[in-house]
Amino acid sequence: MTLVEGILAGKQRAIARLITLVENRPREAVPVLQDLYPHTGKALVIGITGPPGAGKSTLVARLTRRLRQRGKTVGIIAVDPTSPFTGGAILGDRIRMQELATDPGVFIRSMGTRGSLGGLAKATHNVIRILDAAGKDYIFVETVGVGQSEVDIVKTADSTLVVLVPGLGDDIQTIKAGILEIADIFVVNKADRQGADRLVAELEMMLDLSEKEVAWRPPVYTTVATGNQGIDAVLEGIEEHVRHLYQNGQLEARRRERYRAEIMAIVEEEIKARLLGQWSAGSLEELLEEVAARAKDPYAAAREILKPWTGNGKGGS
């Protein structure tokens, strides 16, 4: 059985092997990903974001269990913002997902930002693609929604849940401005805590104040994920949102956005690799030396790096 066949058959080991290849030697993974591509586009991609400690992983674990009970298969990608430094991905609350780890209908992977933003976005797109080709019905992409890179990733999901909790005080104020633009569904988790009602009321008020003409007003659900409360309602909310997107042709539009982001990530990475390949390490250091000595400014230096390309008449845009 080839790697492609293994993935199309949904084999956990084949999936894991290709993801590792994608992370470590992305160029070698390309032909396999190209072979898988025609078999993709069936999975529903759900973004989950929110501040640290909001209970995102627990919520994902509960949603997954419910989907499994309904006979659906699930992929979970936890994008861990801390690992750029270390290279490996450590998921703090991975332990909460352990109950799912032995289920062959669930594939869980945590991913670190080991390279650049482009690298993470591209790797995440690829892992979504792999899980999609492997036949997963639902793919959750969980991120801590504070960094641009993580947000860029969830923004391209079919449906995005923003998970908040009462009692984070200032933090909610800080993220408030932005969440409206990415949230399709709000979940107030840990709703048994004091302040949950007020948070729900604040969110509803915020929604009231925003544009009236929107076709979809994000619903606000309350959950106690640890206590398994409110999970079904959230699942129904996701389904309803996806149905709405589908009826409006927006599902395709969002996916096109995902393709666009993905293609651009590939383009960027390719450009960077090629440009740096054209400069020997030594001549790049010399250029940096000149910039450090203020003999050349960074724009002039950039222009020099670009010269092989702009010098051939293509640079007139």
Interface mask toward a second copy for 47-76; x: CB under 8 A: ----xxx-----------------------
Using CB under 8 A as the binding rule, the residues of this chain from 211 to 240 that contact a second copy are none
Q: Which is nearer to a second copy, 214 or 306 (CB)?
A: 306
Tell whether the torsion through CA atoms of 245, 224, 226 and 236 is positive or negative: negative
Tell whether the torsion through CA atoms of 106, 5, 127 and 22 is positive or negative: positive
DSSP string, 244-258: HHHHTTHHHHHHHHH
Looking at 16, 101, 205, 271, which residue binds a second copy (CB under 8 A)?
Answer: 271
Per CB under 8 A, 248 contacts a second copy: no
CB of 196 to a second copy, least distance (A): 20
Strand-pair category, 74-80 with 159-164: unpaired
User: How many other C-beta atoms are found inside a 10 Å radius of the C-beta of residue 207?
Assistant: 17
Closest listed residue to residue 87, CA positions, set 60, 112, 105: 112
Q: Which is nearer to a second copy, 235 or 245 (CB)?
A: 245
CB of 56 to a second copy, least distance (A): 12
Whole-angstrom distance, CA of residue 133 vs CA of residue 144:
26
CB of 241 to a second copy, least distance (A): 19
Partners of 139 in the β-ladder: 45, 75
Using CB under 8 A as the binding rule, the residues of this chain from 166 to 205 that contact a second copy are 169-171, 173-182
Whole-angstrom distance, CA of residue 154 vs CA of residue 48:
7
CB of 69 to a second copy, least distance (A): 28
Per CB under 8 A, 306 contacts a second copy: yes
> Is the Cβ–Cβ distance between 73 and 136 less than 8 Å?
yes
Tell whether the torsion through CA atoms of 195, 200, 201 and 203 is positive or negative: positive
What residue type is 136 in one-letter code?
Answer: K
Assign 3-state DSSP to the chain and report helix, strand, coil percentages, each to 5: 60, 15, 30
Whole-angstrom distance, CA of residue 96 vs CA of residue 226:
10
Q: Which is nearer to a second copy, 107 or 262 (CB)?
A: 262
Q: Which is nearer to a second copy, 105 or 145 (CB)?
A: 145
Using CB under 8 A as the binding rule, the residues of this chain from 86 to 145 that contact a second copy are 86, 88, 90, 92-93, 113, 116-117, 120, 125, 144
Per CB under 8 A, 307 contacts a second copy: no
Total interface residues for a second copy by CB under 8 A? 88
Q: Which is nearer to a second copy, 236 or 259 (CB)?
A: 259
Using CB under 8 A as the binding rule, the residues of this chain from 28 to 47 that contact a second copy are 30, 33-34, 37-38, 40-41
Q: Which is nearer to a second copy, 149 or 223 (CB)?
A: 149
Give the pair of three-digit tokens for residue 45.
């991609």
Which range of residues in 5-13, 188-196, 212-220, 303-311 is near a second copy by CB under 8 A? 303-311
